[in-house]
Amino acid sequence: MTTALALHPALSHPELLAPPVARALAGWPAASAELVEVAAIDPELADTAAFCARYEVAPADGANCVVIAAKRGGTVGYAACLVAATTRADVNGLVRRHLDARKASFAPVDVVLAATDMEYGGITPIGLPADWPILIDAAVAAHPRIVVGAGIRGAKLWVPGRLLAELPGAVVLPDLGVPIG
């Protein structure tokens, strides 16, 4: 069974946004913020495959945001990677080299949740800590309107890819996302 989504201007529904996401969007120029829409979803369907199946969204129209812990010596830094839902982030190749890390791996969930004030399954590049680089696959940046998390499991955002590429700390990388399989 599929359910149509009711899209609304994101800033008109702050209850559907994690607090740092709402603050970040409120700081955008009005012309950009008006282009971001939000929809309430069943929190049990926040994971990409379930969301796409239930709400009839093509996986190619969605993006996943994963947080990476990059280690060199005794130093650990964090970065977000935003890739199309049909791909996976090239963590041990391109990401590790770009971050000049000896080792790169998915960051521990508890660390990510505490640092972002977002919910697992709703992490989004909008509103992340200012010192985290945001690596965005070129296909996501070029997408006219991609679906990303809203910082909570109970909502999704529709955002022009070019606006994500303009986020502070954003770097657009070709081939960041590699095909799954």
- Domain map of the chain by residue range? 8-167
Reported as a single tens digit per residue, the pLDDT across 150-175 is 999 999 999 999 999 999 999 999 99
Reported as a single tens digit per residue, the pLDDT across 6-33 is 999 999 999 999 999 999 999 999 999 9
DSSP string, the chain: -------EEGGG-GGGS-HHHHHHHHTS-HHHHTT-EEEE--GGG-SHHHHHHHHT--GGGBEEEEEEEEEETTEEEEEEEEEETTEEE-IIIIIHHHTT-SEEEEPPHHHHHHHH---TT---STT--TTS-EEEEHHHHH-SSEEEE-SSTTEEEEE-HHHHHTSTTEEEETT-EEE--
Reported as a single tens digit per residue, the pLDDT across 89-113 is 999 999 999 999 999 999 999 999 9
Predicted local distance difference test score (pLDDT) of residue 180? 85
Predicted local distance difference test score (pLDDT) of residue 1? 38
- Class of the 8-167 domain? alpha beta
Reported as a single tens digit per residue, the pLDDT across 49-71 is 899 999 999 999 999 999 999 99
Predicted local distance difference test score (pLDDT) of residue 2? 42
Percent of residues, the chain, with pLDDT higher than 90: 93
